[in-house]
Amino acid sequence: MQGVRPRLLVVPEFSATGGTRTFFLTIARYYSRTPYEVYVALEDSQIDPEIEKAARECNLTLVARRSLLKPNSLMARFPLHLIAGWLEVRPLVSRLKPDLLVVSVGTPDRWLAVLASGLNLIYFVHSYPDPIPGSWWRKWIKLQVISRMLSCGKTLVTVSHYARRQILAVWTRDGQSASIQVIPNTTRPDMRDRSHDRIAQPAVVSVITMGHVVAYKNPHLWLDVAERVVRGGAAAKVKFSWAGDGPLLEECRSAAKERGLGDLVKFLGPTDDAAQFLETGDIYFQPSAMESHGISVLEAMRFSLPCVVTAVGGLPETVQDGVTGFVVPGNVNALALAIATLVRDAGLRHQLGHAGSKRYAAEYSFPLWESRIRRLHDEMLFGFSKA
């Protein structure tokens, strides 16, 4: 490939908000710093002004991709969904003839069939598979098919060691025969930093959360914890705010209103400026039932916020209990106690938040992530790392 610009075809899965979208916008910034010729295959529903702007600024060429998967359709069932995924990608590969195919998914097996295609590729997985459902023979067949695909020597990349262990446990016959690298998330390089430290005790301590208002993010548990802390007679006045859209948004808003929590507990809906929202926070709270890594937690650490998170998925890899925040069981009592402890103690908030900011800079900053991603691309394109 000497003297020729490597051609990449990127096939990302993302929606209007969320971690997979943030990852795409972040890797787009990385590609803007490279000599690659990059094509991005998107459905019409994925293209909006922010994506069009990113494509212009990062010199990406958008190409149309037609989805063959419809919810609850025959093609959405195993193994037809694997065939459908390959049929979506194959025409683009035939036309563009990329030197490297880059797939990014939140649904782990969305385009898994490309692993058996013989293409040079990187397969980014931003979550982890659930245990295979069904009768024993259905489980056996699915395991044989998926484990065979994973044994093709292609590179999967996930965001935490927990996610890697889950993929190996669910998708391989021996719990180890697959090439899976771990590259933790980072935050967007175009996101501004915090403008000031909040060392003194504010009149109202602000506990914030960002993310989809969906079941696995535990918004009802969040509401129970918020009510317990607000009504618990903490030494300082406290308010809770959740920024994000999702199918449970209106249900949770109604529940907060029915409980008479007024302006102290709010589901705000989507935000266009995560940095501005983070600027308002004193404590970050993430009570997820499952989480592969949590980009919002990294953003909070970057903004020097102490984090209270549940001990699930990859969250304990990111937040150090008692050092950068608290990692606690997912129950009301434990979470409320951790938050109340921080609400009462401005010095402790500053100490843990400052430690979190230092940890973010040392482990998760964009320059570190960029060097890992560059090394991965160099190895896939040239067979060695130029870094």
Q: Answer whether 290's CB lies under 8 Å from 163's CB.
A: no
Write out the CATH class of domain 204-363: alpha beta
| pLDDT computed for residue 214 by the predictor | 94
| pLDDT computed for residue 157 by the predictor | 95
Strand order across the 204-210 sheet: 265-269, 237-243, 204-210, 283-286, 307-310, 325-328
| pLDDT computed for residue 50 by the predictor | 94
Q: Answer whether 243's CB lies under 8 Å from 273's CB.
A: no
Round to the nearest angstrom and report the end-to-end CA distance of the chain.
18
Q: Output the pTM of the full model.
A: 0.91
Q: What is the pLDDT of residues 59-79, one digit of tens each?
A: 999 999 998 887 777 777 888
Residues of the chain with pLDDT under 50: 1
Domains 7-186+366-382 and 204-363 equal at CATH topology level = yes
Residue 156 to residue 123: CA distance in whole angstroms: 5
Q: Where are the domains of the chain?
A: 7-186+366-382, 204-363
Q: Look at residue 267 and give its three-state secondary structure.
A: strand
CA angle 284, 291, 279 (to 5 degrees): 25
Q: What is the pLDDT of residues 325-372, one digit of tens each?
A: 999 999 999 999 999 999 999 999 999 999 999 999 999 999 999 999
User: Candidates 3.30.450.20, 3.40.50.2000, 2.60.120.280, 3.40.190.10; correct CATH number of 7-186+366-382?
Assistant: 3.40.50.2000
| pLDDT computed for residue 152 by the predictor | 73
Q: Answer whether 93's CB lies under 8 Å from 125's CB.
A: no
Which residue in this structure is represented by tokens 């266009």? 272
Summary mean pLDDT of the chain:
91
| pLDDT computed for residue 356 by the predictor | 97
